[in-house]
Amino acid sequence: MIERPAAPAAERLFFALWPPSSVRAQIEAFTNQLGNPRGRRMASPNLHITLLFLGRINAGQRDALIAAASALHLPAFMLTLDRCGHWPRSGVLWLAPAVTPGALSDLQDSLTAGARMLDLKIDEREYLPHLSLYRDVKRVPGTLPSPRIRWPVRDFVLVRSDTHPDGAYYTVLQRWRLGG
């Protein structure tokens, strides 16, 4: 009997904007101003804006997604995080842009189109770019301060999410530069 090698395990993946350390420091400083909203604060290394959640992906699908992302030629852009809000239903306290830059929409649309070409199941809800600061927040005391964090977006990443009892751990698998 010939033994076949085990098929590679599927990985839980997503495309994201990953803030550079200077922007991450500004996000941390802003988050510190919020006091304690009685939720689970996102660990600093996990701060990101999801572009497209892919779910469990096998190695062949991952390679095809990497090829599709590598073929993109999109511009760098400035992202301003100037809104802070809370979604009571999901319990997420977040930062977001008041106005989504066209280049961000184009990047997200291009990644979504590539995933659809592979017949991957994609969330059909409207894309709302946001950066989660806290999870499981039941109620936000008082009014939220207004942020003004400018993020020069020069790249995007493919991330693997590994879930453990103490939370999620993210590993950047690949990075793509955005042009001009």
- With tokens 């991957």, the residue in question is 120
Residue 2, pLDDT above cutoff 70:
no
Contact indicator for 160, 13 with CB cutoff of 8 Å: yes
Q: Where are the domains of the chain?
A: 11-177
Query: Which residues, in sequence order, are CB contacts of 75 under 8 Å at separation 6+?
Result: 103, 178, 179, 180
Q: To the nearest whole number, what is the mean pLDDT of the chain? A: 91
pLDDT in tens, 140-169: 877 888 899 999 999 999 999 998 887 789
CB-based burial label for 104 (10 Å; 0-12, 13-18, 19+) = buried
11-177 placed in CATH 3.40.1190.20: no
This prediction has a pTM of: 0.91
Residues with a catalytic annotation lie at 48, 130
